[in-house]
Structure 1
């Protein structure tokens, strides 16, 4: 698929990381001067090669009300099949078609043509930066006046050479920046990374890309999976952009406020048609609340990446299509985010200034529905069906619904929360430790977990060549972003464990997010026996928790021992 001290700076960065709605530069279409619509769409390769491909699904996206498209087909090898021979006819036809259907689009610059034999196709073309720069120049000249957004590569370090580094990616970004700006300074260069890999972005910036980009591109599929699976990880999703800004404030402050876009994000329909529809609505609500300029859903029609489409291979509209159609109709192409509200502790509501006044997208959590009694009758819209009712009482479940005719008390409460962090069971900004304790009830005090099986599926599906490895049955943990986010401070992780009743061999290693990617703390720990609870402590001097796979650390075990122990408590503690 496609160090300054103390209080003022440190405190500011902590708040910046945990507030999903800071001020920032608004992504604009330089040709019209209007903001981009947050409602965008993307496509796999087989639905993006030609106008004939577009005819199968683009009209339905226009009917849906979407107006932003990721990119026509701009692969280097297709545009320059032989050195110096350029073929732009199909690109021109695609742009004409998109223009006619009301879409604004960017251009994804990627590829290494077969004739560049010194470096294999599929590698970043660092061996021939002169030819790469010429490719960027020719594309920029050709699309000038039709788009200004040039996204550099797809999901690096995916789709790069096995041994290629952030420094290699930085080289092609700098070359692209210089070439495009020479054609027209209004061209905007997109710095990209797979998933929510903020660490890789920072490494690229420090390797030479500093000040050579104008917006950030991410594809946070793994965090999206937590939303689709109703794991209560909404805080992680809205915290992605603030984490990016905190990183930029640290290593490239001149670019701290650049726009952030998700040019790919989706949910496989095999999870369930209703699950896909619910997740898409939540994704757009959370993206707009979290400061994402445009979310380009992957994808319009099923293609070469599985059943991800809003419509299937036969052109049939899925429930997700209908849900998003209702959402765009109710909110308009450019809704203004007003703020968030908690609904009876478990429910969440996000309030927007919609096409016909304030509207709220709200949902609950798994388990017993949240029973609502509104101060007055409101119009409640079921997004997938488009049906609306005047209600004063409602059972709110995991399926999001849309409220209109909001009373002032809800709108004012949302506005009062707009610049406050979305809480996840409390404020842990100044806490010294966070913990989770298992018993008849799970008690989460700023430390949360998600099933290892779910993580395994996400990693296999989207992790790419640099994934952490096999994690079936592993225990994956997430610290509250207010407690620790991006900052590299020494911590210790304390676990209380014991073998299961059979007293068979059991153990694990602790793997955590660091500035260099996932690392192992210490070595393998073998649990002694099942006679008592055993406490093991791991010291971690270089954590950098950014949730790019949707978790911060996990207990990873080999196949036949992973499920042979219990955990009673886990604690993460900051060290002096």
Structure 2
């Protein structure tokens, strides 16, 4: 009979049940990255987060961060490029020392240097100069020895929307056409330098990538970056019949996060002949933010949702998920740490997830496959060397902390 062992873990209160091993078969997860390598965090050092908080990255055990140096800093005059600033070099040194990869956000315009490209008085984003900025970043990052990918801007409908057109990308959308030109120029320029450098396009609404593919997204794009903010992790932010996603149906009738990923991959196979990786470069919840039922998100709920989000992403083939964010900084109460330095419960949740499952690989969903947005859910992870297995389980109908059952 199995022997149970329950341990209360810090603020997160994970429950660990110890049972006997029932199989020594070769894991289906062989060759997949461990969960730790999928754990990414949006850092805010370029927006005021103090460098004294760099050690939290090792404490949390994350494998990636999302960080950046903006375009005007690196090209202060036309075709005059400079190196990374000292503060970013300090961060790179830490990332290199701890084997932390960087999702480098290429951001944003350079209106002082390229005023002739202004749209709405502020953008300064001509496609070819932007591609040269990307190339400069690629060269500096490769020389740094730090693992990296390049993300081509952030939420382009917000960033470029003043150029006009339908906000969700449906033609006519001049902003989407311009973003496509930027993507084509950037991919062509960077790939000519090094075809192995990964580049990601960006979308926060589940629909923009559909219109990007319709408009002629380059087939050698490496990945889609998405921001699946929603009321809870198991559901997408849109429904199967959301009017502004038409003529596409971007989720199944159940509105599940899993179906949104599957449908985006299916569309990519149809339009590009392959499936770019899907990276989540932002995902999180606002502490005290309003819920659909009129309530407010508590620290305990967000700590539980953090674990559910990372597990769901790994279970659905997302190689890297970047929690938003490390510190509140300028974006409101989204951080693991607030602007006064107080550590929230979500911090402990991420740390404990990394400790408990960081060295494990996702193997299979074992409960809830047919009811992805309601009721019990369970996901099996396996250690690639010892073969030990752990199951993460929770009930989607509440916001209680998930449990992790260990099988020796």
Cα 1:111/1:81, change in 2 over 3 Å? same
Q: Does 1:237 align with 2:257?
A: yes
Kindly provide the CA deviation profile for residues 138-189 of structure 1, in whole angstroms up to 9, marking residues without a partner as x: 2222212434411101012121142133221110001001111121111111
Contact 1:173–1:191 under 8 Å retained in 2: yes
Q: Does 1:81 align with 2:91?
A: no
Contact 2:100–2:146 under 8 Å retained in 1: no
In the TM superposition, 1:291-310 aligns within 5 A as: 291-310=317-336
Which of the numbers 268, 278, 282 marks the counterpart of 1:248? Answer: 268
Kindly provide the CA deviation profile for residues 271-328 of structure 1, in whole angstroms up to 9, marking residues without a partner as x: 1110110110110111111111111101011211111111222222211111221111
Q: CA separation in 1, counterparts of 2:32 and 2:47?
A: 27
Deviation at 1:360, TM superposition (A): 1.3
Q: Does 1:175 align with 2:177?
A: no
- SS of the residue corresponding to residue 221 of structure 1 reads coil
Query: Which residue of 1 is the match for residue 153 of structure 2?
Result: 153
Deviation at 1:27, TM superposition (A): 9.3
Query: Which residue of 2 is the match for residue 418 of structure 1?
Result: none
Contact 2:66–2:281 under 8 Å retained in 1: yes
Tell which structure's C-alpha radius of gyration is larger. Answer: 1
Deviation at 1:399, TM superposition (A): 2.6
Q: Does 1:280 align with 2:293?
A: no
In the TM superposition, 1:489-508 aligns within 5 A as: none
Q: CA separation in 1, counterparts of 2:199 and 2:124?
A: 17
Kindly provide the CA deviation profile for residues 384-413 of structure 1, in whole angstroms up to 9, marking residues without a partner as x: xxxxxxxxxxxxx7331111137xxxxxxx
Cα 1:313/1:242, change in 2 over 3 Å? same
Query: Which residue of 1 is the match for residue 128 of structure 2?
Result: 130
Query: Which residue of 1 is the match for residue 378 of structure 2?
Result: 349
Deviation at 1:342, TM superposition (A): 4.1
Q: CA separation in 1, counterparts of 2:97 and 2:41?
A: 16
Deviation at 1:337, TM superposition (A): 2.8
Query: Which residue of 2 is the match for residue 362 of structure 1?
Result: 393
Which of the numbers 365, 370, 373 marks the counterpart of 1:339? Answer: 365
Q: Does 1:108 align with 2:100?
A: no
The gaps in structure 2 that reach 5 residues or longer are 1-27, 165-173, 238-252, 289-296
- SS of the residue corresponding to residue 105 of structure 1 reads strand
Q: CA separation in 1, counterparts of 2:392 and 2:254?
A: 13
Contact 1:196–1:218 under 8 Å retained in 2: yes
Query: Which residue of 2 is the match for residue 210 of structure 1?
Result: 218
Deviation at 1:353, TM superposition (A): 1.2
- SS of the residue corresponding to residue 78 of structure 2 reads coil
Cα 1:285/1:36, change in 2 over 3 Å? closer
Deviation at 1:124, TM superposition (A): 6.8
Deviation at 1:130, TM superposition (A): 3.1
Deviation at 1:54, TM superposition (A): 5.1
Q: Does 1:219 align with 2:217?
A: no
Cα 1:218/1:27, change in 2 over 3 Å? farther
Contact 1:65–1:333 under 8 Å retained in 2: no
Q: CA separation in 1, counterparts of 2:91 and 2:189?
A: 24
- SS of the residue corresponding to residue 222 of structure 1 reads coil
Which of the numbers 326, 333, 348 marks the counterpart of 1:322? Answer: 348
Which of the numbers 315, 322, 330 marks the counterpart of 1:289? Answer: 315
Q: CA separation in 1, counterparts of 2:122 and 2:379?
A: 42
Cα 1:297/1:107, change in 2 over 3 Å? same
Deviation at 1:39, TM superposition (A): 0.9
Q: TM-score, normalised by structure 2?
A: 0.74
In the TM superposition, 1:478-557 aligns within 5 A as: none
Contact 2:394–2:403 under 8 Å retained in 1: yes
Q: Does 1:42 align with 2:42?
A: yes
Q: CA separation in 2, counterparts of 1:261 and 1:27?
A: 15
Contact 1:358–1:405 under 8 Å retained in 2: yes
Please identify runs of 4+ aligned residues in structure 1 that moved more than 6 A: none
Q: Does 1:401 align with 2:403?
A: yes
Contact 2:281–2:323 under 8 Å retained in 1: yes
Deviation at 1:346, TM superposition (A): 2.8
Contact 1:281–1:323 under 8 Å retained in 2: yes
Query: Which residue of 2 is the match for residue 448 of structure 1?
Result: none
For the aligned residue pairs, the C-alpha RMSD in angstroms reads: 3.1
Contact 1:58–1:300 under 8 Å retained in 2: no
Kindly provide the CA deviation profile for residues 331-365 of structure 1, in whole angstroms up to 9, marking residues without a partner as x: 12452232221499932211111487211111125
Q: CA separation in 2, counterparts of 1:342 and 1:129?
A: 45
